Amino acid sequence: MQLKHFQEQIFFATVRITIPTDTGKGASIGTGFIYQVPVSKEKHCILLVSNRHVYGDPTKPIQLVFHRRDGNDPARPQLGQTVVLADEKFESVFTGHPDPSVDLACINISKIGHHEPPIFFKNLTDDLMPDFQHELLLPGNDVWFVGYPANRFDTANNLPVLRRGYIASIPKIDFEGRSEFLIDAQVFPGSSGSPVFTSLGNQFRLVGVVSQTMIKNEQLQAIPTGAALGVQQILGLGIVLKASLLTPLLETATREIRERLAAEQPEPTLADEKEGEPVGSADG
């Protein structure tokens, strides 16, 4: 499998995030996507971006499951062969959005667990960010989002699920005065943190991050997509945080990583090895 197409590559740019519950029974499941940021001329770092509510308490354990890299061809994954990165707490690598009201956070996975055997992944980069004033970014545009809805995924191959919907509000206008827009799509628990893409012209762009789903009740409510819904009826509308909100988060994380690097002499990590490859801006 050569992963020539954007629609295939993004399956390897997402990771299932598992956080144990307070009771110790079961776990909270969410989605994260891998983003590469430069920390110097020679080094870069790999961040896992998701919702703040997905990560919850960073003093708790975390588990991430990656694909093993093919030893004979580093450009290919070994499907069905996984590498688990885990830690008892992740507060030292956690960065929340500088605005505490924004439901975004990331962790530096270069410092999570051990990377033997080597892991395979694709990563997103800034060139996928759109201009929200783009003339083709319109209501009704198709969107695709990748994640683990209701913890459903291809367990044999450790692959997430690609889902589809369309933009249901005017993306150039902040929905309810916040940097958000609506999508008409079935957004279920486990989809929190899913990257949302649309095609602008002939290129795919990262337009946002799934945060909440709307439910039908006596009064319309929006709840985090990591919450248990019970018998509540999903309305079929999802709230997406605009991709522009990622910039201050990534800048904050990069600054913190540079400060830590300046204060210590770290052992080689993913920041040095450049293992991942960026997702291409394939034709839409």
**pLDDT tens-digit series, residues 45-94:** 899 999 999 999 999 899 999 999 988 888 889 998 998 888 888 999 99
Instruction: List the chain residues with pLDDT less than 50.
Output: 218-223, 225, 227-231, 267-268, 272-274, 281-284
- In whole angstroms, give the CA distance from residue 45 to residue 40: 9
3-state secondary structure (DSSP) of residue 248: helix
pLDDT of residue 93: 92
φ, ψ of residue 2 to 5 degrees: the values are: -95, -10
- In whole angstroms, give the CA distance from residue 238 to residue 11: 21
The CATH code belonging to domain 127-242 is 2.40.10.10
Mean pLDDT taken over the chain: 84
pLDDT of residue 219: 43
Q: Domain limits of the chain?
A: 6-126+246-278, 127-242
User: What class has domain 6-126+246-278?
Assistant: mainly beta
Six-digit token string for 213: 């789903």
